[in-house]
Structure 1
């Protein structure tokens, strides 16, 4: 039985993203929280110690409770419904935390970026580019506006697709999206506000950004990036139809 409706698939096609509420069962949320708190350098029962704590990634992507959020929930099956059965590398999601800041001045990020591009600090090899087909951000804590929300630009995947029809994937320096928008002008981004267990799928060429957390809660998120098994063969090909290789959407 399908997990997604035709309307949801159309929303993903149009916006490059799709929010799924209550993607995780309560016991999956609890198990993930317990695993993550074991690695946080703060007192779980004292929010004052959460401010500017660490680390950014307090657990392994291979921890059973973390891996279960993707593979023992409907999320991976939903991705396969859109991309195609057995076409994605299995992968997992890894912690990406934003701790509360002492500085309470907040503004919405002015622009986004694309993942997979070299910067001096992100570990991507210079002169290469990653290729992500579909990604997911999963919240394992309630996250309100201004709480370090995953921020995204709906429809920006279509801008990227048009750009890459006539430009190399390597032409975007550091994944900075001002290279793609003619005047470097972005529309206003949207914050993904959600409860523990909510998730958002996002296309591999959707502009997105992190954001500052001025709230009480730690932005406890897991982010998974998934590529097709044949990504090395199709990485530098940009079809006229952006969805030509998506069996569940084309």
Structure 2
């Protein structure tokens, strides 16, 4: 598996000694499939470098995490569940972003989702370490269903007046309208059901913003954060430039619960179909307040990894 190195412009961070900033504005996604080995739980093992990359940036891209057969079943469910014609761009342009979740009656077949969520859980739990996350249950398919459809926007990539990644703002899940305690979650996963090219509606993140959130919470309360994000539609601190995650079908993006993110601009011809799931530490309710200031305090496989001197190049 080859490597892809993506360089961005200068980013600004405000970090304390306990919250080390990324050393360079270079994000390298180099998940080495040859280094993956099955363990007794059917999960994978991550190298220390991959764990360091996640700690550093707050997200990690895993290509080819989900097999084609499982993805094909999801595609069938999608087009059986929505009225739009996938071959009609005009039809798709008129549609709005849609999340088919929970007990959405338009999704009549939930069975194909569970094997994928089970695989997502295996990756996430292995990355966190210590068998820490709450495992999915087949009986809770309604609660596990989260299918995000990002329909094409007006405009084309070659049009200078089309929307761009720099025009959008992000958010931190669980800290806005409808806030309740405990807010947020430990880690999330997003699976691309089809290939997502640049400016094709991919997950867009603000690398390192989980550290910015931690520093913010050292001297600010949760209520102020919620008020600011509800009113401004973005967190109350500077996090630099966004990065859009492109990837092939079956790519899995794991990302930290306090990472700022949003749905990307889609100037392509296709619907970006993504499977999304949040995962909680089994004791999340007891230590979520500590997690706000110490984002890896309860991540046994990552908490002691040193990011000082990290050079992702």
Query: Shorter-chain TM-score: which interval?
Result: 0.7 to 0.9
Q: Distance in 1 between matches of 2:102 and 2:289?
A: 31
Structure with max Cα Rg: 2
When residues 117 and 244 of structure 1 are mapped into structure 2, their CA distance, relative to the original with a 3 A threshold, is closer
Q: Contact conserved, 1:118 with 1:129, CA < 8 A, in 2?
A: no
Q: Which residue of 1 aligns with 2:28?
A: none
Q: Contact conserved, 1:41 with 1:55, CA < 8 A, in 2?
A: no
Q: Normalising by the residue count of structure 2, what TM-score does the alignment of the two structures yield?
A: 0.69
State how 1:110-125 maps to structure 2 within 5 Å: 110-119=168-177, 124-125=178-179
RMSD: 2.4
When residues 166 and 43 of structure 1 are mapped into structure 2, their CA distance, relative to the original with a 3 A threshold, is same
Q: Which residue of 1 aligns with 2:280?
A: 227
2:271 counterpart (201, 205, 218)? 218
Q: Distance in 2 between matches of 1:231 and 1:223?
A: 20
Count of equivalent residues: 239
Q: Normalising by the residue count of structure 1, what TM-score does the alignment of the two structures yield?
A: 0.85
Instruction: Write the deviation string for residues 83-106 of structure 1: whole angstroms up to 9, x where unpaired.
Output: 234422235461111111234521
Q: Distance in 1 between matches of 2:101 and 2:293?
A: 41
Instruction: Write the deviation string for residues 6-64 of structure 1: whole angstroms up to 9, x where unpaired.
Output: 11111101110000000110101101111111112112444443223367134658812
Are positions 1:33 and 2:75 aligned together?
yes
When residues 118 and 8 of structure 1 are mapped into structure 2, their CA distance, relative to the original with a 3 A threshold, is same
Are positions 1:53 and 2:95 aligned together?
yes
Are positions 1:107 and 2:164 aligned together?
yes
When residues 240 and 205 of structure 1 are mapped into structure 2, their CA distance, relative to the original with a 3 A threshold, is closer
When residues 209 and 59 of structure 1 are mapped into structure 2, their CA distance, relative to the original with a 3 A threshold, is closer
Are positions 1:169 and 2:222 aligned together?
yes
Q: Which residue of 2 aligns with 1:142?
A: 195
Are positions 1:80 and 2:137 aligned together?
no
Q: Which residue of 2 aligns with 1:20?
A: 62
Instruction: Write the deviation string for residues 191-219 of structure 1: whole angstroms up to 9, x where unpaired.
Output: 01111111111100111112232210101
Unmatched segments (≥5 aa) in structure 2: 1-38, 104-108, 137-143, 157-161, 304-313
Are positions 1:70 and 2:128 aligned together?
no
When residues 161 and 44 of structure 1 are mapped into structure 2, their CA distance, relative to the original with a 3 A threshold, is same
When residues 170 and 128 of structure 1 are mapped into structure 2, their CA distance, relative to the original with a 3 A threshold, is farther
Q: Which residue of 2 aligns with 1:244?
A: 297
